[in-house]
Amino acid sequence: SSHDWGDIIVVVCEVGESSIQAGRLLEAYEGTGDAEIYSLKEGINGWSYQLVTEE
């Protein structure tokens, strides 16, 4: 099946270590095409901005 991944994928975990591994797995998945894949440095614990969630 085809999935539109968009141009940029940001992978996030608690401290930024597991997301690196997840990003590598995504890079190996041919369905991601030419998307740029990033891991959020220091994870969600290092995020200094307010989180916005859907209710």
Amino acid making up residue 30: E
pLDDT recorded at residue 4: 63
pLDDT recorded at residue 21: 96
Regions of the chain short of the pLDDT cut 70: 1-5
Where in the sequence is the domain holding 28, given as residue range(s)?
Answer: 8-44
pLDDT recorded at residue 53: 84
Q: Is 46 exposed, middle or buried (0-12, 13-18, 19+ CB in 10 A)?
A: exposed
Q: Within a domain: residue 3? A: no
pLDDT recorded at residue 52: 83
Q: Within a domain: residue 29? A: yes
Q: Within a domain: residue 25? A: yes
pLDDT recorded at residue 51: 79
pLDDT recorded at residue 17: 94
Inter-residue contact 20 to 32 (CB < 8 Å): no
pLDDT recorded at residue 32: 83
